Structures are given as C-alpha cells and as structure tokens.
Chains A and B, each alone.
Chain A
Amino acid sequence: MSAVLQADGLGKRYRRRWALTDCTLRIPSGRVVGLVGPNGAGKSTLLNLAVGLLTPTRGRIDVLDAPPALGPAELARVGFMAQETPTYSGLSVADHLRMGARLNPGWDRKLAEDRIAQLGLDPAQRAGKLSAGQRAQLALTVAVAKRPELLILDEPVASLDPLARRQFLQGLMEVVAEQGVTVVLSSHLIADLERVCDHLIVLIASRVRLAGDVDQLLATHHLLTGPRRDPERLQAGQQVVSASHTDRQSTLLVRTDEPILDPAWTVEPVGLEDLVLAYMSPEPTGRGGLTGVPR
C-alpha cells in the first residue's frame, strides 16, 4: 500500500535542543493514525514538519510523495488543524466559509454548508461567540471542505468537554467514511484513539518508540503473570516491554509474534491504554530490570 507520509532520519533542532531525532516512519494511506506520547515528545514538531510549517534540520520527510507544502498543488492536498482549534473570533461562521472558498481551489461549498447546517450553527454568528466544541467543528469543516487527501489534526479534542469530544469524533469519522481521507491526529486520550484509530505511533523523548496497525499491536502483545522468575529466561523472540515483580509473582508485558507456550504463565490480552502506558513508562534497566509496570 502506498504511503501518505514517509520520514527518513528526520530530525528537528530548536537552538540547542533536539525536538525530534532520527525519526523514520511510514504511514500507509487510508488509515486513521493516532499519535501519542508525553508532552514535549515531539508530536507537534512532527506534525508541523509534515505540513511544512517547520523545515527539517536533518533527514527528509515526504507527504503524498512530495516535500511538504512544495507548492499550491501540494498545499491543496493536505488539511491541517493546529492546536487550540484556530478560528478568527471576529469573523462569522459564513466568513470562515467564504475565506475557505477564496483560499482553496478545490473548495466543496455544498459540503461546507451542509455540515454547518447539520451542526445547527448560525452562519451569522461570530466564531468568538461559539462554544469550544462548535469552534472545533467549524475548524474541522474548513479543513475538510478543501477536500484534502490527508487531514492532520494536532490535539483536536484536548480542550473539549466529553460530549463535545464525542460529537467531534463522530463528525470526523463520518468524514472518513464518506471521503476515505487519511487522518493523522495527536491526542492524550487513548480511550478515544482506541475507538477511532487503526494505526498507532508512540513518540517518546523525540524518538518513535512504537508504530503499527492497532490490530497487529494488540495481537502481538500479551500480559503474562506467573511464579516469579528472571525475565532473562524467556522463550526466544519474546521482548519484555515492562516487568514488575513481587516476592512470589512476576507480571510481564511481552511482545512476540509466536504463541506463548510456557504453561506456567497465565496469558491475557492487553488493552491499548495499558500497552501505550507500558511503553511510556521508563525503560527497564536491561532485560532483567525490576522496574514497575503501571497498572
């Protein structure tokens, strides 16, 4: 399958600090991709590089087989919603649509107006008077009405209450169902990502720690509990992601493509949230490390 975004050895340095290092990544098309990681891990930097608002210090990034924001044709193919759901508070809803139509050659006026009507927004209302949820929906409308092939959303639901968040994701998923657009969105809310994403990227300390299709990630990670033992002595091909021990019991989160054969282990599937948290927690000190697993 073709890649919508490909990064090779990508790095970005702000003065003396590297915000992103050695990022090699391939995002297949037709996915809804979740980008997660602690604050300051480089999520926004990666997204801003992808839309061409930043230029790489090192390596390269291609979006839809071209450098980001190379020219008008490339800009038209990517929709972007920056953090804090940017709208112009002094402009009305209708003004936002007029501006979108002026700036985007492929603007789908009917789609924009239908969405605004469906959301029950008053076209004459100023954006500054809208609720946070309505502003996010307006920003999404402007981003999708240009009919992009790739939609990039930087923490689109971070400032929304649970109902507005659900409504935003419902709207976003309708767009995906209808237009088949590839979506990359960053978020801290893994429960949301678990519903909407089929591909996940975990970014930690400016590096890609984990990337893959969600089905595949869930199928290859297992939680093992059993009598205490040294994680060094495991079946070949089992990679310990996190480990915790009491005096009698060991609990390991293990990644492996093979079935778990050792009958001493109780094997349980892992949810996406526990999986991500295990990768986000400090790495075990070597394979025999006795660091805690977040439960």
Chain B
Amino acid sequence: MIEFHLDTRSGVSPYRQIVDQVRRALRLGLLNEGDQLPTIKEVVGQLAINPNTVLKAYKELEHTGLVAPRPGVGTFVTATLRDGSLAAHGPLRRELVRWLAKARRAGLDEESIEALFRDAFRAGAEQDIA
C-alpha cells in the first residue's frame, strides 16, 4: 500500500498529484499488478481533501488502463509501468551525478543546469521526431 502526500504550494492540482504519485510508484516498482490502492475514504481521511478529487484521479488511472475497480472491495493495479529499464537506472544515475559535479565546476548554478537540461531534452526530442 502506498500513501499519498500533497504539496499545496506546487501549483499542481491535487488530482494531478495523486495521478503522478501512482504513476511514479508504478515506474519505481513500489506498486505492482494486483496491489490495492488506498480506498477513497482512507485518502480523504489522511489528506483532508474532497473525495471527488480522489475519484477523478482514480478514474483517469482507470482510463489509461493502469488500475481497475472491484466493486465493494477497492481499486487494484492492473498494469505496470516498469519497462525493464530499472536495472539501467543505477549506472545512469551515477553518470548523471558525475555530470552534475562537472557542470558545477564549470560554474553553472542550478537554474542554468535546469535550463540546459530542458534545452537538450527538447533538442533530443525534436531529433527523434525528425
């Protein structure tokens, strides 16, 4: 079972935050097929948010085929987002940490690093499309 948390200052709507947290848990293998999501009552009892917000998030996850409700029981995970790449995460992460250290030595602050990353990410995506 996972537990949701809410960042009310992020500007991201609570419903979107719940969807994202489930997707992240699926990607990281914290949630697997057959696992149960917290019931709506449990979520609202913990976060003090409107039940419709949770319902909307679960409906969207259902539409994307990641979860399915079992009437009277709860909502269960029916698919995974792990794509076999999990093993590669460690080495990639180490490489990235090394790269970040290099960028800092070159005098880049966090904002420049983020901007550079976004820029490269976008350029890469455009190349893929072309």
Contacts and interface: CB of A to CB of B under 8 A. Distances in A.
A191 B48 contact: no
Interface residues of A, number: 20
Given A195-B50, A196-B49, A198-B52, A174 B44 contact: yes
Contacts of A197: 50
Contact of A170 (B6, B11, B14, B48): B48
Q: Please classify the interface of chain B as helix (H, G, I), strand (E, B), loop, or mixed, using the class held by over half of its residues.
A: helix
A191 B9 CA distance: 10
B51 A173 contact: yes
Contacts of B79: none
Nearest to B49: A195
Interface of A: 32, 166, 169-174, 176-178, 191-192, 194-198, 269, 271
B8 A195 contact: yes
The 10 residue pairs across chains A and B that have the minimum distance between CB atoms: A173-B44, A169-B48, A177-B51, A177-B41, A170-B48, A174-B45, A195-B49, A177-B44, A177-B40, A170-B45
Please report whether the interface of chain A is mostly helix, strand, loop or mixed according to DSSP. Answer: helix
10 contacts: A171-B45, A173-B48, A173-B50, A174-B41, A174-B45, A176-B51, A192-B48, A195-B47, A196-B48, A196-B49
A172 B41 CA distance: 11
B89 to A, nearest CB: 33
A271 B44 contact: no
B46 A176 contact: no
B7 to A, nearest CB: 12
Contacts of B47: 170, 195
Contacts of B44: 170, 173-174, 176-177
Contacts of B45: 170-171, 173-174, 177
A177 B55 CA distance: 10
A176 B11 contact: no
Nearest to B52: A198
Interface of B: 6, 8, 11, 14, 40-41, 44-53
A194 B53 CA distance: 11
A176 B53 CA distance: 12
Contacts of B41: 174, 177-178
A197 B50 CA distance: 6
A170 B14 CA distance: 15
A167 to B, nearest CB: 8
B20 to A, nearest CB: 17
Contacts of B50: 32, 173, 176, 195-198
B79 to A, nearest CB: 26
Contacts of B49: 173, 195-196
B13 to A, nearest CB: 8
Nearest to B6: A195
Most buried by B among A171, A172, A196: A196
A171 B41 CA distance: 10
Among A32, A177, A196, A271, the most chain B Cβ lie within 10 Å of the Cβ of: A177
Contacts of B8: 191, 194-195
A196 to B, nearest CB: 5
B45 to A, nearest CB: 5
A196 B8 CA distance: 12
B42 to A, nearest CB: 9
Q: Considering residues B14, B40, B45, which has the most beta carbons from chain A within 10 angstroms of its beta carbon?
A: B45
B46 A195 contact: no
A223 to B, nearest CB: 12
Contacts of A172: 48
A196 B6 CA distance: 13
Given A173-B51, A177-B41, 15 more contacts: A32-B50, A169-B48, A171-B45, A173-B48, A174-B44, A176-B51, A177-B40, A177-B45, A178-B41, A191-B8, A192-B48, A195-B48, A196-B48, A196-B49, A198-B52
